A and B are shown apart, each in its own frame.
Chain A
Amino acid sequence: MTLNLKTFLTHKFFPKGAEFEPLYHEFRGIIERNNQIFDLMADMGDKLGGEYVFDRKYISDCADSFEKLIHDQITAYCVLSGRKNQTLFRTFDKVRQAIRMEIQGQYRLPDGDAVIPLGSLGENAIELAGNKMSVLAHLRNRLLLPVPDGFVITSGGFVEFMQKNKLLKQAAAMAPDREDDGHFREAAAELQDRILNGSIPRKLSREILTQFDRLADRLQQNNLRVSLRSSAWEEDGRASFAGQYSTILNVSRKELLDGYRQIIASAYKPEAWRYRLEKGYLEHEVQMAVGCQSMVNGAISGVLHTLAPNIHQDSMVINASWGLCELVVQGNHLVDTYIVSRISPFALRQSEIVSKEIRLVPGKEGNVVEETIPAEIADIACLNPAMLTKLAQTALRIEHYYKRPQEIEWTVDSSGNLQILQVRQLQFRGRRLPPEGEFEDSLRQARTIFGGRGFAAQCGIGVGRVFKIEENDKLEDIPQNAILVSRFSSPRYGSVMHKLQGIITDAGSPTGHMAALAREYRIPTVVNTGIATSMLKQGQEITLDATQRVVYEDALYALSHFELIEEEVFEDSYEYRLLTRIGRLINQLHLTHAKDESFTPAACRTYHDIAQFIRVKAVDLFIRISEESKFKNMSIARRLASEIPLGLLVVDAGDGTDCPQVSDRIEPVQIKSLPLKALLEGLIELEMWATTPVSVNLKSFMSSFTRTFCASLASPEEIGRNLAVVMKNYMDINLRLGYHFTVMDAYLSETAEDNYINFRFFGGVTDLARRSRRALFIARVLEYFDFVVEIRGDLVTARLKKLALRRMQKRMRMLGGLIGYTRQLDASMNSDQDITCHVENFIKAIKSTIGGDNERRNSS
C-alpha cells in the first residue's frame, strides 16, 4: 500500500492550528501538479509518432486537463506568494483562448511577418504561406531539393490588404447570395474590381519590394523577373483547386504589386468562389498567400507522375517538351512521354518521342510568348538517361516524404540544372494498388527478421539497405536511401535524415530529440528494439514497417505501395495538425534560465513557461517563508552545514531532525530522517570513493569534480536554494544544481510494503545530444539498481517500491552519489560511447563502496 501522505501529515504530525500545514500542502500540490504537467506533455508527444490511434476527444481532454492543472497551479502559487499574480492569469487566459479556438476550429491569424523569404519558412509554414508554397519551402529547406529562390506574401499580408480596403466584410456579406447565379457573378466581378483597385498598405508594399530587391541581390540579377503563384490554404492539398486561381509568369519589379492584386482577385473568380463554398469552406478560411519566385528560363520542362496505374504498374510517367512548363501543363500540344521504373536504377521502360512544334519562352515585355521550335531539335527526345534518372530519384524522395503519389512540375534551366516548380498530391482514392492478391501474396511470403519490439517514433514504410553506424563513423558516408541502424538514438542523425528511408535503434525513446527530428523529416523510425544492430547485417536489403514495428527481409515494394493509397496520411490528418498546433501553444519553452532577468511572469508565453516559472519560484518562496520562520509550532528551516555547498535548507515536519530549536544551522549528524540521511551519505562522502580502487578515468574525473564543485560553486546563491521537507521516515526534496533539477520523494521504514522512492531528473543547458546521453546514463544506472525507469526527452522518471529498509537505504546512498556524479556530466558526454563507459565506471564505484550486484533484488 502506498502511503497517503496528505492524511498522514494532517492527522499524525501537525498539531491543530499550525500554519505550516496549509502552506506545505500548497507547495506539495505545486510539485505534484508540475509532475502531472510534464507527464501530460510527454504523453501528447508520444501520440505524434503514429503508433497510437487518438481522436479529437483525446485532444480536447488534454486541453481540459492542462487548463485545470495550470489554473490550479497559479491559484496555489497565489496562496503561497500572497499575491494576485494577474500577469500569470492573463497569459493563462491568452493561451487557453488560443487553444479553445483551435479546438473549435476557429481561425487564428498566425504570428509572423507579412512577407517571408522561402528559406525562412519553418514549422508553421502552412498557416502562413498556404499549401503550395509551404510544400515548396519544405522541399527546399528540409529535403534540400532545388526549388527556385523567392519569398511569400503571407496570409497575414492578405488579411492586412483586405482589411485596409474593407473587403473581408464585403466578401462575407456576399457569400450567401450564390443561389442567384446572375447576382453572384455580378457581386464577384465587383469584389474583384475593388481588389484590383485596392490600395496595398504602405508597410506591406514596402516589405514586398524590399524582399524583391533582396532576392535580386541574392541571385545577382539586375533585371530580375519572378513568377507569382496563388497559395491558398488547402489549395493542392486534399481538395483540388487546380487551375482555379491565377499564376502570372515573368513579372518585373514594376508590375509586382499589380500582379499581387491580380492573384488575390483570382480568389474571387466566380468559379473558384463557388467551388470553395460548395466544398464547405468558410469565408474566413480563404487565406490567399502569394508565392513570388525567381523566374526560371526553362530549356526543357514537364510534368511527372510518380505513379500511373492506368498506364503501367510500378512506373512513373514523365511528359516533357522544350521551353517553359506552362505548355505541358496546358495539355493542348503534343509532348514526349517516358515511362520509367519506380525501382532504382529507374530503367526506361518505354518512350514516345513526338514532333514538337511550339515552345513557350519568356517575353521581352513580360508574360510568355509562343515560339517555333528549331527544326534540328523538334523531333529528338528532350530528356537524356541521366536527366531521367535524376528526375525519378528526386520525384521518389518527394513521394516518400509526403507518402502519397505526386504530380510534379519541373524544369531544367539552360545550364542543365533541375528545378522543382510545383508539387501536388495525386489521388487514387478507393483503388487497390497493387492489384488484388499481389499484395497479400507478397506479405505472406515475406520473412520477418524481427517484430513487435521497441517503439515507433515515426510511422511509415521504408525500403532500403542497412547502414550500421558506429559512434565515430562519419555521417557523410551514409548512402542515399539507406536504413540507418544504430545502437543509440542520436539527434546528430538529423543532418542526414533527408537521405534516409528509415532508422532503427537498439536504445532510445519515442519522445527523445531524435524522434522529434524523425517526425519532422517523416522518416519511419523504430527505437529501443534492443536487437537491431545484432540482427541486421551491413548492406542487407530490408523493409521496415514502422507502423507495425516489423522488419522484413528483402525489398517489399508492395508494402510501400500500399501505404501510398491509404485513405489519409496520418501526418496530413486534421487531428495530427491540431495536436501539433496545440502542442506548440503548450510545450514550447521560452523561460530556460532561472537566473536570467527575463525569468518573469511577463515573459511566459506557453503553459510550459508558466509551469516552469511557478515551479522554480515556489521552491524559492517556500524556502523564504520557512527561513523567516513564519510558522507557529514549527521548526524553522535550517541550513545544512556540509563541505559540499548544496545550499540545502531542511524543514523538519516531525521527528526528522535532532537539533536545538534556536539554531539556524544543522549538522549532517543531526539529520534523523532515514531517507535524507542515506541520501546525504551518498552525496557528501565522496572521499570514500576516491580512496577505493577505481579506474584511473573515474578517479581523475571524481577528483576534478570535487575540486570544481567546491571552488567554483562555493556560494549557495549560485546553485540555487534547495529544500528538503523531512520527517522520521519521509523526505521530499527539490534540488537545483547548476541548471538541472532533481525532485524526489521517498518513504523509508521497517515495513517494506510502505517503502518507496520516486525520482525525477530534468533540465540542463548543454546541447540536446549531451542531455539525451546524460538521461540515458541515469536511466541505465537506475535500471541496474532495480528502478522502473522511463525517459522522455531529457526527463527521467524512476520508481522503486517495497524493498526492505536496508536495500532502500543502499539505493538512496547510490542516488546521492548519482546526483553528485551527474551534476556536471552533460558537459563531458562527448560521444555515445561515453554512456556505457560512465555507466560501468559508476556502477563499479558504487559496488566497491556501498555494494551492488550482491544486493540486487531477485526480480519479482
Chain B
Amino acid sequence: MSEETAAEKNALRIMVLDDEPIVCKRLKPTFEKMGHTVETFTDSVKAIARLKETSFDVVITDLKMEGADGIQVLNGAKSASSETQVIIITGFATSETAKESYSKGAVEFIAKPFKIGDIVNCVKRIEKERQEKQKTQSSIES
C-alpha cells in the first residue's frame, strides 16, 4: 500500500454542528490541520438532512439547539451508519444529559467551554481505534 492511500484512509470525515458559529469556526481548522475533512453546520435540521445524504466517521454536535436537538442528531447519525462515532458538546452539562447521551450511543460527552486539546485527543482516540479495527479485519481476511 502506498503512503498516500494510507494517509487518505486515515483521514476522517467529520461533521461539526453547533448553533454558535464560533465553535464551528474554531474546530474546523483544528481538524483540517490534522488532515481530516470537515463539514460544519449551525442548523441542526440541515445537518440531519446532510446525514441522510452521506455518512460521517465522526459527528460532533451541540446538545441544545433550535429545531432538532443533539439527541435527534445522534439518532440520525447512528441510523445512517452505526460506525459513526458521536461526540456531544454542551454548555448545559448535567449528569442526566450525560447519561442520556451515553445510553443513546455517544462515545464522548464534553462540557463547554472545553480545551481544543481535549477534543483533539478524543478524535485521535477514535482514529486509532479505527486503524486497529481495520488492521484486525485485514489480518482476518488475509
Contact = CB atoms under 8 A, between A and B. Distances in A.
Interface of A: 47, 51-58, 61, 439-440, 443-444, 452, 547-549, 559, 562-563, 566-568, 570, 573-575
The listed residue with most A CB atoms (<10 A of its CB), out of B22, B29, B30, B114, is B22
A57 B20 contact: yes
B25 interface: yes
Given A51-B115, A57-B112, A568-B26, 9 more contacts: A52-B115, A439-B33, A440-B7, A444-B35, A547-B116, A548-B116, A548-B117, A548-B120, A574-B22
Contact of B26 (A53, A56, A439, A444): A53
A573 B114 contact: no
Contacts of A574: 22
26 contacts: A47-B113, A51-B115, A51-B117, A52-B114, A53-B22, A53-B26, A53-B112, A53-B114, A54-B112, A55-B18, A55-B20, A55-B23, A56-B22, A57-B20, A57-B91, A57-B112, A440-B7, A444-B35, A549-B117, A562-B29, A562-B32, A562-B33, A566-B25, A567-B25, A567-B28, A573-B22
B27 interface: yes
B112 A573 contact: no
A52 B22 contact: no
A440 B8 CA distance: 10
A391 B28 CA distance: 33
A55 B117 contact: no
B114 to A, nearest CB: 6
B39 to A, nearest CB: 13
Contacts, number: 71
A755 B91 CA distance: 34
Interface in B90-116: 91, 112-116
Nearest to A60: B91
Interface of B is mostly: helix
Contact of B22 (A55, A439, A444, A562): A55
Given A548-B117, A548-B120, A573-B22, A55 B29 contact: no
The listed residue with most A CB atoms (<10 A of its CB), out of B7, B18, B33, is B33
B33 A52 contact: no
A444 B18 CA distance: 30
B35 A570 contact: no
B35 A568 contact: no
A61 B18 CA distance: 18
B126 to A, nearest CB: 17
Nearest to A574: B22
A61 B93 CA distance: 13
B45 to A, nearest CB: 20
B25 to A, nearest CB: 5
A440 B117 CA distance: 19
A54 B116 CA distance: 10
Nearest to A545: B33
Nearest to A455: B115
A53 B117 contact: no
Contact of B30 (A52, A58, A452, A547): A547
A568 B25 CA distance: 7
Nearest to A47: B113
Interface string B31-63: 011010000000000000000000000000000
A579 B69 CA distance: 27
Q: Which 3 A-B pairs have the closest CB atoms?
A: A54-B113, A55-B20, A566-B29
Given A452-B117, A548-B120, A440 B29 contact: no
B22 A575 contact: yes
A192 B22 CA distance: 38
Interface in B116-142: 116-117, 119-120
Contacts of A439: 33
B116 A51 contact: yes
Contact of A52 (B91, B116, B120): B116
Contacts of A440: 7, 35
